[in-house]
Amino acid sequence: MEILEYADADIAAISRLFYETVRLINVRDYNLEQVAAWAPEIYSDDFWKNRFNDYHVLVAKEKGQVVGFAEFEYTGQIDCFYVHHLWQRQGIGSQLLKRIEHEASSRNIRRLYADVCITAQLFFKMSGFSVIGQLERTYNGCLFKQFFMEKTFLYSGA
């Protein structure tokens, strides 16, 4: 598996991965109305290109196929963090997070943080993040329970 900077050629696969992961994995923890609000459609390439302007975006690829992606900012915020529904629990999320931690360390970022969905909370907790608080957010007219989580580094290496 490779962790790479995203390229425009990856966007269609990222869009489908996002949609299918929310619809097939996150539905375990959120109701159908919430899932439909979260991923109402497979978003256009332009949607993702505009979104990615604000983030550093990494993709995980296995034999050329996009099997995960993550967005983060150099403030330490992790936003989208998704693994393909057929590739769950195979270390892809851990490899993406390891790369983010390396990038953070190289920029002397001492804290990573994210608003984490119910589905991803255990992954982040097992990766050394702590729950700082619970959140309720409204997105496309639906209320979502999330967790504000963070991981701090006491030294300059992640």
| pLDDT at res. 144 | 93
Given a cut of 70, the residues of the chain with pLDDT beneath it are 154-158
Would you state the pLDDT for residue 154? 67
pLDDT number for residue 157: 45
- In the CATH hierarchy, which fold is given to the domain comprising 2-113? Aminopeptidase (3.40.630)
Strand intervals (E) in 2-157:
2-5, 56-62, 65-72, 78-83, 111-117, 130-139, 142-152
Token digits for 135? Answer: 């959140």
Q: What is the pLDDT of residue 158?
A: 42
User: In angstroms, what CA-CA distances link 73 with 1, 45, 58, 126?
Assistant: 23, 20, 11, 22
In this prediction the pTM is 0.91
